[in-house]
Structures are given as C-alpha cells and as structure tokens.
Amino acid sequence: MCYIPFGGIRIKKLKPPQQKDIIMKIKDAVKITHTLSKPGKMPGPAYSISAKNCITGAKLAKIPGSVCAGCYALKGRYMFKNTKSAHQLRQESLDHPQWVEAMAVQIKSHKWFRWHDAGDLQSVQHLNNIISVCKLTPGTMHWLPTREAQILKEFTPDMIPSNLIIRLSSHMINQGPAKQWPHTSTVTDGEGRTCPAPDQGGICGECRSCWDRDTKNVCYGKH
Ligand code: SF4
C-alpha cells in the first residue's frame, strides 16, 4: 500500500478517479482547491498560484532581459490581499488527495481552459495530476505554458492527452523557440509577434492559437 503525506497526516494514495467516478458537487470542490481564476482576456477560466513560487521563474525574475523580469503576476491586481489569499489556498491544496477530481468538476463545463495565468508547475506529480484532470475533462481544451523544462524532461509528447497543449516558454526576450518540446512560446520586443491580442483590445477574441496543436510556436509582444 502506498501513502502520501498531507497536513502531517499519513493517508492512502488513491488511484486517479475515472470519468464515471466524478460525483463531487462544485461547492465541495471549491472547498478543496479554492476557485478558478477569471482573466478577462481569455475565452474561459484559468487557474493561478503565486508567481513567487515559480521554480525557474523566480530565478529569471532577477535577470534583466528575461521574460520574467518585471513579471506582470508580481504586481498590480496580483498583489491584492484577496488574490494573494486565493493563491495561498490553491498552493496548499495541491497535494490534496481529491485535487484532481475537485479541479475536473470545476473545469468540465468549460470549452477552453488555461493553466497558470500566474505561477507555474511545482513538481512532476503536479503535472501528472493536471494530465489526470485533462483526461477527466475531454470536452475541454487545456493550454499550459511552462518554463519548467526539468519537469517536462520526465515526460514525452505521447504521454500528453490530445486535449492538452503544453508550451515550453523560452527564458529570454527575443530568444528563439526551445528545441526539446514540440509546442513552444517566445517573447519579442520587436518584429515577429504572432499573438494578435494587442491589436484587438488586449483580448483573445476569436484567436485560439495557444490551444492549437498545429501552431508550433506562439510569439507574444513584451508586456
Ligand atoms: S495567441 Fe491568441 S489565444 Fe494566445 S494569448 Fe494571443 S490572442 Fe490569446
């Protein structure tokens, strides 16, 4: 029998739930994972934790010219007391044994979902759990941008469900796409931007390039 620690208590490690097993009510799911986030730019909800806990991003934030220097998720509304409290509650819930089911219950009615409008992957297990959520929500397209190449090294593209696009983000502004993953994102402060959001009021509108498997790289303008 396998056990994992949670809140200082040793509890049984449960198998990921199957679609037919999801019977949790949304109000009970929110008590476990806290709420989803609702970035106004996106066509659906998202999920955020504190950018202060980004493993790679916290190091990059100190490097001028990196995409994390001046990170939008470390200022403005992300510093409001209620947002910081929500980030803390979500972070503390990541190892909860019912996290996968609770996230799937909240996401399954949405067509488009973005992982981490603030924050990033925390561990290999975190990504395994997200993959389980995606398998439980086949009617949802998931987009997960990440800078955690070390975590992605533990996965191959064929381990990723077809309704999840993981984009490995390059570290530096004007750097080319990463080579070790099929879907990527980059940032430019000059030519080559492919994200149309700045031309359409800062929203995605009809664009779904970030979720599009045929779009190998998305290039954003520097914020
Ligand atoms: S590329 Fe399209 S989907 Fe992605 S953030 Fe920009 S507008 Fe939104």
pLDDT band at 13 (very low <50, low <70, confident <90, very high): low
Its pTM stands at 0.89
221 lines ligand 1 (CB under 6 A): no
Comparing C-alpha atoms, which of 165, 215, 166, 174 is closest to residue 193?
174
- Give the pLDDT score at 87: 92
Radius of gyration of the chain (CA): 17
Q: Considering the chain, what percentage of its residues have pLDDT values greater than 90? A: 78
Ligand 1 binding pocket mutation candidate from 184, 209, 222, 223 (most atoms within 8 A of CB): 209
- Give the pLDDT score at 178: 97
Q: What integer best gives the mean pLDDT of the chain?
A: 90
Question: Which sign does the torsion angle of CA 146, 148, 150, 6 carry?
Answer: negative
pLDDT digits (tens, 9 = 90+) for 109-121: 999 999 999 999 9
- The residue segments making up the domain with residue 106 are 3-12+22-221
Atom of ligand 1 nearest to the CA of 200: 7
- Give the pLDDT score at 3: 43
Where are the alpha helices (H) located in the chain, listed in sequence order? 26-33, 57-60, 81-93, 99-107, 124-136, 149-152
Instruction: Give distance in angstroms: CA of 171 to centre of ligand 1.
Output: 19
> Does 164 map to a domain?
yes
Rounded Cα distance between 57 and 51, Å, is: 7
Instruction: Give distance in angstroms: CA of 221 to centre of ligand 1.
Output: 11
- Give the pLDDT score at 16: 66
- Give the pLDDT score at 2: 39
Give the angle subtended at the CA of 87 by the CAs of 207 and 57, to the nearest 5°: 70
Phi, psi angles (nearest 5°) of residue 9 = -105, 140
Instruction: Give distance in angstroms: CA of 153 to centre of ligand 1.
Output: 26
Q: What is the mean pLDDT of residues 67-83?
A: 79
> Does 62 map to a domain?
yes
Tell how far CA 26 is from the center of its chain: 20
pLDDT digits (tens, 9 = 90+) for 197-209: 999 999 999 999 9
Other C-beta atoms within 10 Å of 216: how many?
A: 12
- Give the pLDDT score at 195: 98
Comparing C-alpha atoms, which of 219, 151, 207 is closest to residue 183?
219
Instruction: Give distance in angstroms: CA of 34 to centre of ligand 1.
Output: 26
Other C-beta atoms within 10 Å of 142: how many?
A: 24
Report the number of distinct structural domains present in the chain.
1
> Does 17 map to a domain?
no
